[in-house]
Amino acid sequence: MKSIIYSALTIFFLLSLLPSYSQESLTARQIIDKADKNMQGESSISTMTMTVRRPTWERTIGFKNWGKGHDLALTLVTEPAREKGQTFLKRGNDMWNYIPSIGRLIKLPPSMMSQGWMGSDYTNDDILNESSMVLDYNQELLGTEEFGGFQCYKISLVPLEESNIVWGKIITWVSQVDVLFLKSEYYDENQSLVRTETAGDIKIMDGRKIPTRIEILPADEPQNQTIVTIQSIDFDVKLDDNFFSQQNMKSVK
């Protein structure tokens, strides 16, 4: 019996000396890719609310989003009543906005990607998911740091010269255990902080552990705040590319 216990302990000790595959062995690019896939999947359908807070007013916008990779996205505004039915479509680098109250389809120029979506601190680029943190940036691991009680990777993302990115740099904190984006700082081309985004209220949704509450604070107007809450999300759903069409913008529900 003693020999069996001794053998088991010996094997355990020897195994502990072997190099193991862990999150620590991942490169900065692999960490960002894994975190991105944890939140996006190959495709997804989600319902969310966005609360925009200003010193003198507050309003909530409800929307539903269909996404497939980083090239296809369709967003439908479900509330408030005066904006209900408005849709936004992205196909590759082309983006459109359909306004049912006037029956008009507007193509959004690249210059509008940095503008606030629906009057919030989120940009059109954020909502329509124009850029990819994996493909459009150089990633560099700066080290590790604790945030919100989680040990995180601290990673710098600098856009590639050929990419059409509105940011000059992003610094992001990704949890080591679950590989989730928990905090991101967005800088302009002059390396000045523009806004800080934090994520929390981690829950299991469609079998995945994800943050369901995202808060954005603009650096130059700290009294402003935008909070996005994920109410439901289904990952890796079957979505045909033809679903993301101008025609469907007018009828999607």
CB atoms within 10 A of CB 164: 13
What distance in Å separates the CA atoms of residue 118 and residue 97, rounded to the nearest whole number?
A: 11
Q: Is 166 helix (H, G, I), strand (E, B) or coil?
A: coil
Residue 11 confidence (pLDDT) above 70:
no
- To which CATH superfamily is domain 23-249 assigned? Lipoprotein localisation LolA/LolB/LppX (2.50.20.10)
Q: Per residue in 71-111, pLDDT tens?
A: 899 999 999 999 999 999 988 878 899 999 999 999 988 77
pLDDT band at 173 (very low <50, low <70, confident <90, very high): very high
- How many angstroms separate the CA atoms of 189 and 159, rounded? 10
Residues in the chain: 253
Q: Which of 176, 178, 180, 179 is nearest to 197 (CA)?
A: 180
Domain extents in the chain? 23-249
Query: Which pLDDT belongs to residue 17?
Result: 36
Question: How far lies 64's CA from each of 47, 125, 135, 220, 243, in Å?
Answer: 4, 16, 26, 30, 14
CA gap 50, 67 in Å, rounded: 18
Please report, rounded to a whole number, the percentage of residues in the chain having pLDDT higher than 70.
88
Assign 66 a pLDDT band (cuts: 50, 70, 90).
very high
Q: Which residues contact 139 (CB under 8 A, 6 or more apart)?
A: 27, 28, 29, 31, 32, 133, 155, 156, 157
